[in-house]
Amino acid sequence: MNKILVTGARGQLGSDLVTALCQQYGATNVIESGWRAPSDRSSSFAFEVLDVTDQGQLQKLIEHYHIDTVYHLAALLSAKGEQFPDRCWDVNVNGLRHVLEAAQRFNLQVFFPSSIAVFGPHTPKLDTPQVTVEDPTTMYGITKATGEFLCHYYAHRYGVDVRSLRLPGIISYSAPPGGGTTDFAVEMFQAALRSETYTCFVRPETRLPMMYISDAIRAILGIMQADSNAIKIRSSYNVTAISFSAAELVAEIQTHLPHFTCRYVPDFRQTIADSWPSVIDDSKARADWGWQHQYDLAAIVTEMLEKLRAHSQNTQS
């Protein structure tokens, strides 16, 4: 029986992943953790306060719950990482190394989310290949690239079953944005539903790889459930769904909410976005373990607006 620990469980990715893991493995087998206790303790999942930079605390938790699988999501994201670079390195690199050390000691399976932030100005922008230049320009990207090297090392040096995806921007309705450069793609929906003009922090033509949260969860579960022999890459797989510009997202939202308007005031996040690819080649993931996305831009916008409306009504009732 899988006994699963999710670090960073209340973040944008973790909120939906925990629900999916509960459906697959049962609520009693899923342990959430985060650096502080959530204000809402109504969840049926066990929750433990965990600082992943504390190796002893992590190992005690793994032993206490007899954990055999860790989904290691705890991290500072790109924009936050630029504000707090020392903390970003400590959490993102040392936290991962502690998880990999525990995986070696206790024979754990590990999922580690990498990011398109590992790429940089010398990376090909179109059809970015699986093996290419990684020259990140942010502390977040540096930590993710380092994490990929650590995953590869622990897999080949110690036989740790670690699996990883280079995730694009994630669009989700269930948790607020967490300080990432692709947050405009979520904030825009919220402003549109409030009938507000959105101030976008990237230029209208800025095009980035994106993925709807449901596809992201499917990708994570897919790679973790794949036969070990199918996993040919132990650093991190390119994985994506679609790419669109900020202006294209505005136009698609306007098909549902014609009065929505957006103005563009690029800030420091524009420089980060400019260093990232526009379109990713994820053919290796599709060939090795059968990855396929389901949501295009029209489907994402339709579902995001429906889910956010329903969430707002539930909150008000």
> 14: Cβ–Cβ under 8 A, 6 or more apart, which residues?
6, 8, 32, 71, 73, 175
Alpha-carbon dihedral sign for residues 193, 117, 75, 80: negative
Could you tell me which residues are beta bridge partners of residue 113? Answer: 165
From the centroid of its chain, how far is CA 209? 13
Cα gap 315→317, rounded to integer Å: 6
Are 208 and 169 in contact, with CB atoms under 8 Å apart?
yes
Give the single-character DSSP code of 92.
I
Provide the strand spans (E) within 148-236: 161-167, 169-171, 198-200, 207-212
Are 176 and 121 in contact, with CB atoms under 8 Å apart?
no
Cα gap 104→176, rounded to integer Å: 34
Residue 66 backbone class (left: φ over 0; alpha: ψ -120 to 50; beta: rest): left
Residue 288 burial class via C-beta count within 10 angstroms: exposed 0-12, middle 13-18, buried 19 and up? middle
Nearest CA-CA partner of 288 in 201, 228, 216: 228
Give the single-character DSSP code of 27.
G
Active site residue 173: no
Q: Which entry of 140, 154, 237, 264 is annotated as an active-site residue? A: 140
Helix (H, G, I), strand (E, B) or coil at 49: strand
Task: Just list the catalytic residues.
Answer: 140
